[in-house]
Amino acid sequence: MEPSEPYPPDRPARPEPGRDPLLLLPGGIWAMGERIAVIGWHTGVIGKLVFLLGLAVVVLVVLHELGIDLPATVPESLVIIVLGSLSTILVLVRVISVPDQFFPYDGRGIGLWIALIAAVGLIVGGLLRAGEEL
């Protein structure tokens, strides 16, 4: 004996007028965090590199707060300036040139501008720290 519907339908039901379409998705509104995180990770190689550079700065600051410092020959401010400069260059590349895999393309999102501000902020923070070290 076979069930009446062996497989779930391929498409979700169309939302009724006036109903929130997110509530019809599996997991409802509570699964949006996972969907957004997946979308954010699919930003290409440049996006992943900028994320890893930012993570390196966070690790550097945490190690400094724990009392583990870099060798005296490598000033921490210089490392932060270099990481901020690399991040700024990579984000500017993404601002100027959008890969074909992200088309159809509606415009540059707010996350790109936040990343640019944060990368420039790293450079400014590194310069301020260098001024304190002198």
DSSP string computed for 35-46: HHHHHHH-SHHH
Residue 121, pLDDT score: 94
Asked if the structure places residue 116 within a domain, the reply is yes
82 in the same domain as 57: yes
125 in the same domain as 68: yes
Residue type, 110: I
Instruction: Give the DSSP letter of residue 134.
Output: -
Residue 66, pLDDT score: 92
11-59 pLDDT, tens digit per residue, is 555 555 655 554 555 555 556 555 555 655 566 788 889 889 999 999 9
95 in the same domain as 36: no
DSSP string computed for 77-112: HHHHHHHHHHHHHHHHHHHH---GGG-S-----HHH
Range of 98's domain?
44-133
